[in-house]
Amino acid sequence: MAESQGLTLTVLGSGTMGIAIMGGVMATLAESRMRENLPSSSAPKDTAPEQLPAKFIACDMRIEAEETVKKALGHYNFPLTTLTNNNTEGTKKADIILLACKPQGFKDILGAEGMRDALKGKLLVSILAGVTQKQIEDFLYPDGLPEGGCRVVRVMPNTASFVRESMSVIQTSTPPLSDQQHKLVTWIFNSIGRTVSLPPASMDACTALCGSGPAFFALMLEAAADGAVAMGLPRAEAQMMAAQVMRGTTGLVLNGEHPAILKDKVSTPGGCTIGGLLVLEEGTVRGNIAKAVREATVVASQLGQGVQNVNGTRR
């Protein structure tokens, strides 16, 4: 596809997530170019949208972000413009907009002079934790969605976007997105990992599991490495080993292995694994991990309402 026929993707909020998503899109486009140049290339085209992003605009309120964006993405050799405190201009030039600011900052950005006009007829994808699609639509159009207004789509990715291993949840829309809009959103987030689509009622739990999940698993990984260090392994090697074991385990599960069956396969009678598992069960690890997800779900439901420091389900 010629770049002149491609779409312009504007990111409002060029922090870690905004850069990671742009980087994933650029990397996927670069890989597609390479495949197209191979004589035996047979890349599937039926799942891709008719038009893909080809130009990128990164907007942020910090002047320092311009250098950060260029350093992180400049080597991909795609047209890339950086703007500081000029979200409206970036939105005017966009075909699709990614809202990636702090959750509490969306009203300042979308309420800027000229922003509603700049968004007309375009696709606005929000990755803001705790901010619902309805909250954004009600803010933009308090009198109801007008004909030709922008379509708002909510997506919950996670920080593993940076290494293209995100788990992103795309909220289903009412009315549904057009086929090409759905394909475009799915393609963008598949470029940074895996995607599923779920209804609005599931999004707070998705925020807890996918958004907060990396922190939960990082804590478990660190604890496993700590145990190995306590038994004499060097710190760097213990951390790498724990990370690779976690990565291999998730690979088996993603390949279709049920966690319970996998656990039983490793647990030989009278062995060290079953002994360790019983210690975990005695420490209510399973219950506390599940409770952590429930707690994060309750807190996530309050974020879009401007409530912080919520105790959630704790008593």
Going across the sheet that includes 96-99, the strands are 80-84, 53-60, 7-12, 96-99, 123-126, 151-156, 166-171, 193-198
- List, for residues 41-56, the tens digit of each pLDDT value: 444 555 678 899 999 9
Q: Could you tell me which residues come within 8 angstroms of residue 49 by beta carbon, excluding any fewer than 6 positions away?
A: 180, 183, 184, 187
Confidence category of residue 214, pLDDT binned at 50, 70, 90: very high
Fold of 206-312: ProC C-terminal domain-like fold (1.10.3730)
Which residues are registered as beta bridge partners of 197? Answer: 170
What is the domain partition of the chain in residue ranges?
A: 7-198, 206-312
Annotate 30-73 with DSSP letters as a single string: HHHHHHHTSTT-----TTS-SS-EEEEEEEES-THHHHHHHHHH
Which pTM does this prediction carry? Answer: 0.88
Asked if residue 59 lies in contact with residue 87, where contact means CB atoms within 8 angstroms, the answer is yes
Query: Is residue 172 marked as binding?
Result: no
Query: Is residue 198 marked as binding?
Result: no
- List, for residues 7-65, the tens digit of each pLDDT value: 999 999 999 999 999 999 999 999 988 877 766 544 455 567 889 999 999 999 999 99
Pick the CATH number of 7-198 from 3.40.50.970, 3.40.50.720, 3.40.50.300, 3.30.450.30: 3.40.50.720
Query: Is residue 87 marked as binding?
Result: yes
Query: Is residue 77 marked as binding?
Result: no
- Tell whether the model's pLDDT for residue 81 goes beyond 90: yes
Query: Is residue 16 marked as binding?
Result: yes
Query: Is residue 17 marked as binding?
Result: yes
Query: Is residue 197 marked as binding?
Result: no
Query: Is residue 144 marked as binding?
Result: no
- Other CB atoms within a 10 A radius of the CB of residue 18 amount to 23
Which residues are registered as beta bridge partners of 10? Answer: 57, 97
Query: Is residue 268 marked as binding?
Result: no
